[in-house]
Amino acid sequence: MGVVKGDQMILNIGPQHPSTHGVLRLEVMTDGEIVSEIRPHLGYLHRCFEKHSENVTYEQVIPFTDRCDYLAAMNSNFGYVVAMEELMEIKVPERVDYIRIIMGELNRIASHLLALGVYGLDIGAFTPFLYMLRDRERILDMFEYTCGARLLYNYMWVGGVSHDLPKDFEKICIGFLDYFEPQIEEYNNLLTYNKIFVERTADVGVIPADVAVSYGVTGPNLRGSGVKWDVRKDEPYSIYDRFEFDVPVGDGHFGTLGDCFDRYWVRMLEIKESVKILRQALKDIPGGDVHQMLPKKIRPPKGSVYRRTESPRGDLGYYIMSDGTPTPYRVKMRSPAFTALSVLDEVSRGWMISDVIAILGSLDIVLGEIDR
């Protein structure tokens, strides 16, 4: 039987489309209802992060890293300061390490909640989105209580953090976790096990493990394909090697391994693991002065460093090159969302237009980070 070729049509999705998580334009070549090619056009949110960093001092780069991945700004800060500390050979006090991990994991939960909620919204489920945003709000409240800002924190500094935790933060955070853990079951009942949702996502947009690896897809998207790779476990930075947690991988829960549902499901499981890490960290957090190791002047020696960290979207790498002056010679950011977007074309070929939305949402890209 030959292939019937219908009329080719080009369909534009975006730049302002609710499911593009930022400003992204997709040029979709369709054959009838079937997608034959997708060309993502990016750059709408380009703000010259890398070039701009060459003109500001090292501490002034941190507010700009916030604005790359604005949904997980703590993790963006985290990657930069860890790289800088490696370059300057600073050993931060233990309390700082713990605070950073608490903040990073809280932000991972917040980011995943938004990713899952918006994914439901893309598929057509409105209520879970509201519930997840309600709980994300409580995390943002905790951030506001800690550092004054709700979204773009500039909280982690090279050699420390800007403020110590508020006095009763541990109590508030434990209270939140106690409230939050039963909510996960509620989300599952509301969205995850919903048959309509499962039908929309299971078996759709399968990324086989070898394709994911060859495209450099990382983070939950890679783990959804069954590859157990987590920088926190395999190349521990900060003090992640002290905590006990699992790296959840997709298992083809309702369909094929590596489908949209698996990517969604891995995020849901990761939230649980983050809760686990948070409980351990809150239990053993030591006292101490968080400003003890702040350098008077940040002037790293000549040299360069590349350090990758696990942001909610995957391997977030910073390459920093110093020429011995107070401003960086070069800052390069390896964005996990960029590689996730690059795989979209290959994965969506042969699927319907409405599935493209499901695939795009399951990749959880943030355009601020892709365009930088």
Partner 1 sequence: MSKYFANIYDTVNTLWTGMRITWRHMMNIKRDNVTLQYPEERWPRPERNIGFEHEDYNVIRSRLHVDIDDCIGCLKCERACPVDCIKIDTIKAPTRGEDIPDVKHTGETSNGTKKAMVVSRFTIDMSECCYCNLCTYPCPEECIFMVGGPNSSKHPIDYEFSEFDRTDLIYQFAKKLSPEQKDGLQNPKPEAEA
* Residues at the interface with partner 1 (CB under 8 A): 56, 59-64, 66-67, 127, 131, 134, 137, 141, 144-149, 152, 154, 162-164, 166-167, 186, 189-191, 193-196, 290-291
List of E strands, the chain = 8-13, 25-31, 34-41, 156-157, 160-161, 303-311, 314-322, 330-334
97, 299 contact by CB (below 8 A)? no
CB-wise, 39 or 51, nearer to partner 1?
51
What is the C-alpha to C-alpha distance for residues 189 and 202, in angstroms, rounded to an integer? 17
Q: What minimum distance in Å lies between the beta carbon of 147 and partner 1?
A: 6
Report the nearest approach of partner 1 to the CB of residue 229 (Å): 32
Q: What minimum distance in Å lies between the beta carbon of 119 and partner 1? A: 16
Of 42 and 147, the one with the shorter C-beta distance to partner 1 is 147
Of residues 73 and 367, the one with the C-beta less far from partner 1: 73
Query: Is there a cis peptide before residue 15, judged by omega within 30 degrees of 0?
Result: yes
Q: Check: CB of residue 159 under 8 Å from CB of residue 90.
A: yes
- Give 6 or 166: the residue with its C-beta nearer to partner 1: 166
Closest approach of partner 1 to the CB of residue 157, in Å = 10
Distance CA 340, CA 31 (A): 24
Residue whose CB is less far from partner 1, 5 or 296: 296
CA atoms within 13 A on the CB side of 319: 6
Q: Among residues 26 and 158, whose Cβ is nearest to partner 1? A: 158
Tell the burial category of 329 from Cβ atoms under 10 Å away from its Cβ (0-12, 13-18, 19+).
middle
Q: CB 69 → partner 1: shortest distance, Å?
A: 16
Alpha carbon distance 71, 54 (integer Å): 24
Q: How far is the CB of 167 from partner 1 (least distance, A)?
A: 6
